[in-house]
Amino acid sequence: MNASPTPQALPLSRLLNHTADAVRAVRSGASLNEALAACPVPARPGTQALSFQVMRGLGRAQALRGQLARRAPPAWVDALLLTALALLCEAEEAGYAEHTLVDQAVEAVKQRERASSSFVNAVLRRFLREREALLAAVARDPVAQWNHPRWWIERLQRDWPEHWQALLSANNQRPPMTLRVNAARATAEAYLERLQAAGLEGTAIGPQAVRLDLPCPVSRLPGFEAGDVSVQDLAAQWAAPLLLEAEGGRLPRGARVLDACAAPGGKTAHLLELAELDLLALDSDAARLARVEDTLARLQLRAELKAADARQPEAWWDGRPFDAILMDAPCSAAGIVRRHPDVRWLRRDADIAQLAGIQRDMLEALWPLLKPGGRLLYCTCSVFKAEGQPQIDAFLQRHSEARQLAAPGHALPLPHNADVAAHPGPAAAAHDGFFYALLEKRPV
């Protein structure tokens, strides 16, 4: 049996080798994106598919390995063992029969660490024999049960006592592929007809938003290269309309706008699709800023791009105040774990306070750049409350000239979430987790 989306020409043992490399890299502190970039191109799609599944089941796999082998083997062998255990727990999702996974895992070890092949074979075959008892034993461990670090679980329990279990479960689901139809070209409903003609099915979930029934390569999307459509989650699509359309009215044509953390450029492009703006796209990472440039080029949009730290305006600001600022702040990414399943294993509890400090400093640095009557949209792709309203409440206490306008607040990545009713799109449409706060600078 092999219903896997991985390339059939590549032996599973080779993909398991590369997946173990990726798992070892993440456990050493590297991001999965970095690890996959080091993977040979032909093996990358299959390795990514397996790596994502392993990341979603890593907590349970680590607990099982602890039951099966009290002493951890060498780092790469351990990563291979964890990979195999995570896949065996969800073999149907991986698309391989259990005996195939075991045989190919042993073959993978023989290619790299032959002396450990008997050990890996014995551990994996014992797991198959004692599966039910072993799974029952580790199920008592919250990290194994929810496949998240203990601190993450406890933080969600404090922040969302009624939703924490649903949030953890949602993080282990495959994310939907959502499109943003270029407002200057068509509506979501009109683009659906083009999708159907191309043999793709989807649902309109917003004025410009289409959710595909099944993900597909962007090369299959009609008009993608021509700039007719982009890939962007529904919650991320709220940013541009929130900034452009506020209580004080729509931003005027030619308004001066700052996108303070622009990469990879989805929100930058959306702003320019909806309005004619004098827009400065800023990002501290020059390499990531190149992605913004590529995105704008594909969509035939123009903006000024600058690589600089938003917290140091003296190094890049020309002194002309902005009518509006989009501050998509650096954060824990706790709201987009479905798309980046390694994030949970890379973050530490202490990171949240450190990130909240960066967010505070960025707010303080950018606020003086906003003209009286202007507006600033603060957003994070996080479900942790420390990166949401408490940050804004503290800012409002420090700045009497600031007032908070209507905005979604925390939007949890759950269907039928009560908060979602206040947001664009149907309440049943699942989306990433975000926090939005819109601030206006009152004349003093």
3 state DSSP class of 193: helix
> Domain 235-441 sits in which CATH superfamily?
Vaccinia Virus protein VP39 (3.40.50.150)
Q: What is the largest CA-CA distance in the chain?
A: 75
Nearest to 333, CA basis, from 348, 343, 319: 343
Give the pLDDT of residue 415. 75
For 423, which DSSP code?
Answer: S
pLDDT at 92: 85
Q: What is the third-level CATH fold of 178-231?
A: Alpha-Beta Plaits (3.30.70)
**Per-residue confidence (pLDDT) for residue 134, from 0 to 100:** 97
Domain with CATH 1.10.940.10 in the chain: 12-147
For 252, counting Cβ atoms within 10 Å of its Cβ (0-12 exposed, 13-18 middle, 19+ buried), the class is: exposed
Q: Which of 89, 261, 379, 381 is labelled catalytic?
A: 381
Q: Bridge partners of 256?
A: 278
Average pLDDT, the chain: 93
Residues 293 and 226: beta-carbon distance below 8 Å: no
**Domain(s) of CATH 3.40.50.150: residues in the chain:** 235-441
Contacts of residue 329, Cβ cutoff 8 Å, sequence gap at least 6: 261, 358, 359, 362, 363, 378, 379, 380, 387
pLDDT on residue 416: 54
pLDDT at 53: 97
Query: What's the CA gap between 21 and 76, in Å, rounded?
Result: 7
Q: Tell me the three state secondary structure of residue 125.
A: helix
CATH number of 12-147: 1.10.940.10
| Nearest CA among 118, 117, 124 for reference residue 89 | 124
- Give helix 131-138 / helix 58-68 axis angle, nearest 10°: 110
CB 128 within 8 A of CB 102: yes
What's the rounded Cα separation, in Å, for the pair 300 and 13?
44
Q: Can you read off the two tokens belonging to residue 290? A: 């190149």
- In one-letter notation, the amino acid at residue 289 is L
Beta-strand ranges (E) seen in 138-247 are 178-181, 202-204, 209-212, 229-231, 245-246
264 and 287 Cβ atoms separated by less than 8 Å: no
User: For each of the chain's 444 residues, which pLDDT tens digit applies?
Assistant: 333 444 446 899 999 999 999 999 999 999 999 999 999 999 999 999 999 999 999 999 999 999 999 888 999 999 999 999 999 999 888 889 999 999 999 999 999 999 999 999 999 999 999 999 999 999 999 999 999 999 999 999 999 999 999 999 999 999 999 999 999 999 999 999 999 999 999 999 988 999 999 999 999 999 999 999 999 999 999 999 999 998 768 999 999 999 999 999 999 999 999 999 999 999 999 999 999 999 999 999 999 999 999 999 999 999 999 999 999 999 999 999 999 999 999 999 999 999 999 999 999 999 999 999 999 999 999 999 999 999 999 999 999 999 999 999 999 998 754 443 334 444 444 799 999 999 999 987
> Residue 361 corresponds to which tokens in the numbers above?
């400093």
Q: Which amino acid is at 297?
A: A
Residue 391 to residue 399: CA distance in whole angstroms = 13
Give the separation between CA 224 and CA 339, rounded to whole angstroms.
21
Q: Rounded to the nearest 5°, which phi and psi values hold at 166?
A: -65, -35
Q: What residues does CATH 3.30.70.1170 cover in the chain?
A: 178-231
pLDDT given at position 247:
77
Clarify whether 261 is annotated catalytic. no
The SS3 call for residue 392 is: helix
